Amino acid sequence: MSQIEDLVKEYLDYLEIEKNRSPSTSENYKRYLDKFIEFSGVKGVNDITEENIRAFRVHLARPEANLKKRTQAYHVIALRNLLKYLTVHDYSVVSPDKVELPKVPTRQIDIIRYDDLERLLSAPKGDSLHALRDRAILETLFSTGLRVSELCKLDRFMNIDTGELPIRGKGEKLRVVFLSDRAKTNLKEYLKKRSDADEAMFISLSHAKKPKVLGRIGPRTVERLVSKYARSAGITGKVTPHQLRHQFATDLLSNGADIRSVQELLGHSSITTTQIYTHVTNRELREIHKAFHGKRRG
């Protein structure tokens, strides 16, 4: 193993142990850094130059690489952060400040209209275990702004009446989210119907007349059920669990919540991630202004 490969391994261990980053983050960083090492052929820290970094960025940007601007940026961020780590540990390397990040277009967030949202949330019909579970899932997603992975990890034995759920999110960061009255009602109705002892809050069910519990529900199952109910609600376009997280954030901001509070509720480590939602609410306000302002002036 070369010097640079040893140092990359040390850096990835540092990310997981000291910075408390998730294993998936480390895996992604490893993939990005391995790509740079393979492309540039570097063996040690002295082999990393501004020239081969620039050549790597050109390589990432070429059409044959088939990488979006955001993905290109992730590669450069991983390399710059490795250089920061090496600098702190007294290695003589290219200054991280000389590695500029690519300009990434502002992410566009699509939100659905409020009447469409209401139809989606009430789309699961009946009092079967499937329908009760699905209504509880939809209401919980919109009420809390949880990531789908966080929703799937919820355990059953919690005090729903308090309306507060402690969540361990990305990077093992703890936060509290809150259940609306509708979410609490739907969760209680769903749990009352359950006769199993599985500790998972949301379970995967067979499609038999008397459905069997197949264990904890997975993100793909939640994605499929959200998509199914969006279609049955007559909503055109793709709707995902993450879109309900978007709805949660924009709903709060549109109704006057401050951005720092929304950042805390979403579990974002940086406020710049949360600021993307201000573009959506600003767009909504612009449409309201256009529709209602100055109508008497002709």
Domain CATH number, residue 19: 1.10.150.130
Let me know whether 127 and 189 are in one domain.
yes
Asked if the model's pLDDT at residue 123 lies above 70, the reply is: yes
Let me know whether 93 and 143 are in one domain.
no
Q: What pLDDT score does 298 carry? A: 46
Take residue 43 and report the two structure tokens written for it.
Answer: 């063996």
More confident residue, 192 or 110: 192
Compute the average pLDDT of residues 202-213: 92
Let me know whether 179 and 283 are in one domain.
yes
- Give the pLDDT band of residue 292 (cuts 50, 70, 90): low
Let me know whether 135 and 236 are in one domain.
yes
Instruction: Specify the CATH number for the domain of residue 196.
Output: 1.10.443.10
Task: Judge whether 57 counts as a catalytic residue.
Answer: no
Let me know whether 39 and 154 are in one domain.
no
Asked if the model's pLDDT at residue 217 lies above 90, the reply is: yes
Asked if the model's pLDDT at residue 266 lies above 50, the reply is: yes
Identify the domain containing residue 210 by its residue range: 114-290
CA 70 to CA 124: how far, in whole Å?
A: 36
Let me know whether 125 and 253 are in one domain.
yes
Give yes or no for a contact between 275 and 259, defined as CB atoms under 8 angstroms apart. yes
Let me know whether 259 and 146 are in one domain.
yes
Compute the average pLDDT of residues 219-227: 95
Asked if the model's pLDDT at residue 125 lies above 60, the reply is: yes
Compute the average pLDDT of residues 106-122: 81
Asked if the model's pLDDT at residue 172 lies above 50, the reply is: yes
Place of tokens 């991983």: 78
Let me know whether 79 and 185 are in one domain.
no
Of 98, 130, 156, the residue that ends a domain is 98
For the chain, the straight-line distance linking the first and the last C-alpha, in angstroms and rounded, comes to 75
Kindly report the pTM of this predicted structure: 0.66
Residue 205 lies in a domain: yes
Torsion sign (Cα): 195, 212, 184, 262: positive
Let me know whether 118 and 260 are in one domain.
yes
Calculate helix-pair angle for 219-232, 129-144, nearest 10 degrees: 100
Asked if the model's pLDDT at residue 185 lies above 80, the reply is: yes
Q: What pLDDT score does 297 carry? A: 45
- Give the pLDDT band of residue 283 (cuts 50, 70, 90): low
Task: Judge whether 242 counts as a catalytic residue.
Answer: yes
Render pLDDT for 71-88 as a digit per residue (tens, 0 to 9).
898 999 999 999 999 999
Residue 107 lies in a domain: no
Let me know whether 131 and 202 are in one domain.
yes
Active-site option among 133, 135, 245, 246: 245
Residue 106 lies in a domain: no
Q: What pLDDT score does 158 carry? A: 87
Task: Count CB atoms within 10 A of the CB of residue 133.
Answer: 26
Let me know whether 130 and 20 are in one domain.
no
Of 72, 98, 124, the residue that ends a domain is 98
Query: Which residues make Cβ contacts (< 8 Å) with residue 219, sequence separation at least 6?
Result: 148, 149, 152, 241
Residue 295 lies in a domain: no
Compute the average pLDDT of residues 90-113: 78
Residue 125 lies in a domain: yes
Q: What pLDDT score does 275 carry? A: 78
Let me know whether 206 and 230 are in one domain.
yes
Asked if the model's pLDDT at residue 229 lies above 70, the reply is: yes
Take residue 73 and report the two structure tokens written for it.
Answer: 């940026």
Render pLDDT for 144-170 as a digit per residue (tens, 0 to 9).
999 999 999 999 988 899 999 999 887
Residue 269 lies in a domain: yes
Q: Which helix (H) or strand (E) holds 20?
A: none
Number of domains comprising the chain: 2
Render pLDDT for 193-204 as a digit per residue (tens, 0 to 9).
999 999 999 999
CA 139 to CA 142: how far, in whole Å?
A: 5
Task: Count CB atoms within 10 A of the CB of residue 35.
Answer: 17
Q: What pLDDT score does 287 carry? A: 60
Residue 104 lies in a domain: no
At position 248, the amino acid (one-letter code) is F
DSSP symbols for 72-89: HHHHHHHHHHHHHHHHHT
Active-site option among 153, 156, 170, 193: 170
Give yes or no for a contact between 17 and 5, defined as CB atoms under 8 angstroms apart. no
> Average pLDDT over the chain, rounded to whole?
87
Compute the average pLDDT of residues 43-57: 92
Give yes or no for a contact between 83 and 93, defined as CB atoms under 8 angstroms apart. yes
Task: Judge whether 170 counts as a catalytic residue.
Answer: yes
Q: Cα-flanking dihedrals φ and ψ of residue 76, to 5°?
A: -70, -40
- Give the pLDDT band of residue 291 (cuts 50, 70, 90): low
Place of tokens 């969006």: 230
Active-site option among 156, 242, 279, 283: 242
Asked if the model's pLDDT at residue 48 lies above 90, the reply is: yes
Of 35, 67, 98, the residue that ends a domain is 98
Task: Judge whether 277 counts as a catalytic residue.
Answer: yes
Active-site option among 21, 80, 147, 184: 147
Active-site option among 29, 85, 190, 277: 277
Residue 108 lies in a domain: no
